[in-house]
C-alpha cells in the first residue's frame, strides 16, 4: 500500500533527498506526489525536478497574509492527491487553518530532542547550552511550534565547545535515517496516537519484528569508564 505524500521544503532539501533515495531503493512505500516551497529558489525544488517530481513554489511574501499563503499551499497539496504532508526543512509555522485541512496528517522533523530546544536554531541552542547528548525528532505537527506527539527520536553525543555547525552535521546524518523510517511506519499503517503517545504497532505477520526495546540500550556521553 503506497502512501501518497507532499513534501514541503524551504532550503537545501537533504531530508527530501533521503526520502527520494529510500523510495527509489524500494525501502519506502510512499509516492511523492508534489514538492512545495515558500522559496522558489530552494535547492530542494531542484532535487525534486532531477527525479521527475512535480513542484509548486510561491514566495510567501507575495501573499497578503500567512493564512492566504497557507490556503494556497493547502489547495496545491489537496490537488496533488497527497494524504500526508511532510515538512522537511520547512522554516515557517503553519496556521491552525492549514492543520485543519489535514487533521493528524502533518509531520515534521526537528534537529533537537524535543521538547528541548524548539525553534529555528535547535542545533546551535543545544551546542551553546553545553549539552552532552543532542539529537533529532520526528513528530506530528499541532498548533504549538515543535510540540506534537513524537514518533521517533535519535540521539548523538555533543562535544564540549563544538559549535552548532559540526553538531548539526552529526544530527543531520541521523535525520536522514529516522525520517524515512517514520514515513515507512506511517505508510504501513502501523502508527497510532493516543493523546501525546505514539505507538508503532507490530509488523504484519511474517514481517521482521521491531527490535525489542533493549532495556540496556543507552547513550552516555562522555562514555562511562571501566568499572562504572
Ligand atoms: C535540518 O536539520 C532540518 O531538521 C531543519 O533544517 C535542516 C535542513 O534541512 N528543519 P534540509 O536539508 O533542508 O532537509
| Distance in angstroms (rounded) separating the CA atoms of residues 163 and 79 | 42
How many Å lie between the centroid of ligand 1 and the Cα of residue 10? 9
Tens-place pLDDT, residues 72-129: 999 999 999 999 999 999 999 999 999 999 999 999 999 999 999 999 999 999 999 9
pLDDT at 213: 52
How many Å lie between the centroid of ligand 1 and the Cα of residue 208? 30
pLDDT surpasses 80 at 218: no
pLDDT at 209: 54
| Index of the ligand 1 atom closest to the CA of residue 120 | 10
Supply the residue whose CA is at minimum distance from atom 3 of ligand 1: 89
pLDDT category of residue 214 using cuts at 50, 70 and 90: very low
As for ligand 1, residues whose beta carbon falls within 6 Å of it are: 9, 11-16, 44, 88-89, 109-111, 172, 175
Q: Which of 51, 60, 110, 121 is catalytic?
A: 110
Dihedral over alpha carbons 62, 14, 125, 170 (to 10 degrees) = -170
Tens-place pLDDT, residues 2-44: 999 999 999 999 999 999 999 999 999 999 999 999 999 999 9
Q: In angstroms, how far is CA 52 from the centroid of its own chain? A: 22
Reported as half-sphere exposure (CB side, CA atoms, 13 A), residue 213 has a value of 4
pLDDT at 226: 76
Q: Compute the C-alpha angle 112/139/89, nearest 5°.
A: 65
Supply the residue whose CA is at minimum distance from atom 6 of ligand 1: 89
| Distance in angstroms (rounded) separating the CA atoms of residues 174 and 123 | 13
Stated pTM of the model: 0.93
pLDDT category of residue 1 using cuts at 50, 70 and 90: confident
| Plot region of 92 (φ>0 → left; ψ -120 to 50 → alpha; else → beta) | beta
Has 139 been annotated as catalytic?
no
pLDDT higher for 69 or 217? 69
Amino acid at each position: 500500500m503506497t502512501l501518497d505524500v507532499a513534501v514541503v521544503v524551504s532550503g537545501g532539501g537533504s531530508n527530501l533527498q533521503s526520502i527520494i533515495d529510500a523510495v527509489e531503493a524500494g525501502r519506502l512505500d510512499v509516492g511523492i506526489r508534489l514538492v512545495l516551497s515558500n522559496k522558489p529558489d530552494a535547492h530542494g525544488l531542484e532535487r525534486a525536478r532531477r527525479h521527475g517530481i512535480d513542484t509548486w513554489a510561491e514566495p510567501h511574501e507575495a501573499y497578503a497574509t500567512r493564512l492566504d499563503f497557507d490556503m494556497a499551499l493547502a489547495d496545491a497539496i489537496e490537488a496533488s492527491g497527497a494524504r500526508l504532508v511532510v515538512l522537511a526543512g520547512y522554516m515557517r509555522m503553519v496556521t491552525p487553518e492549514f492543520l485543519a485541512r489535514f487533521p493528524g496528517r502533518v509531520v515534521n522533523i526537528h534537529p533537537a530532542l524535543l521538547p528541548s530546544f524548539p525553534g529555528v536554531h535547535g542545533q546551535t541552542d543545544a551546542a551553546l547550552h553545553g549539552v552532552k547528548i543532542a539529537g533529532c525528532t520526528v513528530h506530528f505537527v499541532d498548533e504549538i511550534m515543535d510540540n506534537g506527539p513524537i514518533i521517533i527520536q535519535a540521539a548523538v553525543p555533543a562535544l564540549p565547545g563544538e559549535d552548532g555547525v559540526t553538531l548539526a552535521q552529526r544530527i543531520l546524518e541521523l535525520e536522514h535515517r529516522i525520517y524515512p523510517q517514520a514515513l515507512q511506519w506511517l505508510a504501513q499503517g502501523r502508527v497510532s496516537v493516543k493523546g501525546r503517545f505514539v505507538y508503532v504497532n507490530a509488523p504484519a505477520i511474517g514481517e521482521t519484528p521491531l527490535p525489542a526495546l533493549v532495556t540496556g540500550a543507552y547513550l552516555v556521553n562522555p562514555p562511562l569508564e571501566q568499572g562504572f
